[in-house]
Amino acid sequence: MKDVSLSEDDSNLLVIIIDTNPFAWEDSSNAQVPLTLDNALSQVLVFINAHLALKYNNKVVVIASHVGQSKILYPLADNEEATTSNNGNRRNANMYPHFQIVTDQIVSNLQKLLSSTDASFLNKDMGASPTITGALSMALCYINRVTKLDDEGHIKPRILVLSVSPDSAYQYIPLMNCIFSAQKASIPLDVCKIFGEETAFLQQASNITGGVYVKMENRQALLEYLMMAFLPDRYSRNYLNLPSQDQVDFRAACFCHKKIVDIGFVCSFSANGLLCAPLARPNLRLDQWHHLPPLQIHQVN
């Protein structure tokens, strides 16, 4: 990780990745303590406006991590932004214009994304995990493009993931590539686990990149968690006692069956793969995974 000098005059670029997994949000809306996507989005928009209000040169990017695709909700390309402005809702005279533009674009593009979701992805077995790696890749590419144009190095980026989905072992390798890319570029990766199971991979991401990981205990207090834990910029964090992880789950996913394992086995031939069990046949290399039979576990009495 490269050394980065921080100043209170820096421009803060906040990239927010919203997990829009429809299955997880449907379960949450029917829970004993419900939280709908609409309600959560309203609280996130207040948080975004607070971030923009902290400093005149603060920037924000919002990306939706959806089933089958990831999409930037804000900002739009110039031609798309002009179309949205012409067809947008009536301006609120009591709202700061920039806040209104950001709100309108995020809400409008999220509605388009949800309504245009391909039915082939709406399979709970296949589509339960959104493309978090795709969203992280888009965030890192956007940050890289913006920082390349910043000759003086005053833009300080960070990524905030609002997660509601469980880990997907099939995304382990590309996710770790994103994590180490963020670490190399000194980009903190914050994670707010709104509800659902703990995510070992995102815990690792936050720990490796020096970010903040928070597992919410009350899903209806989303705005309070965002304001208290994730609103301070990177410079201010040096003077604050932010939440820290007491224990981090560093388990990995095997390369053969995509299982999260406690004990793994490394191929002695290539030394670059992790297996969940010893190789069944001698001289079997990792490039022959497709010949491996389904994993079977036998209990011995």
Report the C-alpha gap between 224 and 144 in whole angstroms: 30
So what's the pLDDT on residue 28? 93
Q: What's the mean pLDDT in 278-293?
A: 56
Would you say residue 263 has pLDDT above 70? Answer: yes
Residue 25 has φ and ψ, to the nearest 5°, of -70, -30
* Band (198; pLDDT cuts 50, 70, 90): confident
So what's the pLDDT on residue 112? 94
Q: What's the mean pLDDT in 106-130?
A: 74
Q: What is the CATH number of domain 11-239?
A: 3.40.50.410
Q: Round the average pLDDT of the chain to a whole number and report it.
A: 83
Would you say residue 3 has pLDDT above 90? Answer: no
| Lowest-confidence region among 93-97, 147-151, 153-157, 271-275 | 271-275
Q: Give the DSSP per-residue string, the chain.
A: -------TTPEEEEEEEEE--HHHHHHHHTSSS---HHHHHHHHHHHHHHHHHH-TT-EEEEEEE-SS-EEEEESPPHHHHHHHHHSSPPPPTTS-HHHHHHHHHHHHHHHHHHHT--GGG--TTTSSS--HHHHHHHHHHHHHHHHHT-TT--EEEEEEEEE-S---GGGHHHHHHHHHHHHHTT--EEEEE-SSS--HHHHHHHHHHT--EEE-S-GGGHHHHIIIIISS-TTGGGGS-----S-----EE-TTT--EESS-EE-TTTS--EESS--SSTT--GGGGGGPPPP------
- The domain segmentation of the chain, as residue ranges, is 11-239, 252-291
Would you say residue 261 has pLDDT above 90? Answer: no
Would you say residue 249 has pLDDT above 90? Answer: no
* Band (298; pLDDT cuts 50, 70, 90): very low
Residue with tokens 């604050």: 240
So what's the pLDDT on residue 18? 98
Report the C-alpha gap between 10 and 158 in whole angstroms: 13
Percent of the chain with pLDDT over 70: 75
**How crowded is residue 234: how many other Cβ atoms within 10 Å of its Cβ?**
18
User: Higher model confidence: residue 95 or residue 268?
Assistant: 95
Would you say residue 7 has pLDDT above 80? Answer: yes
Would you say residue 292 has pLDDT above 70? Answer: no
* Band (301; pLDDT cuts 50, 70, 90): very low
* Band (97; pLDDT cuts 50, 70, 90): confident
So what's the pLDDT on residue 299? 47
Would you say residue 131 has pLDDT above 70? Answer: yes
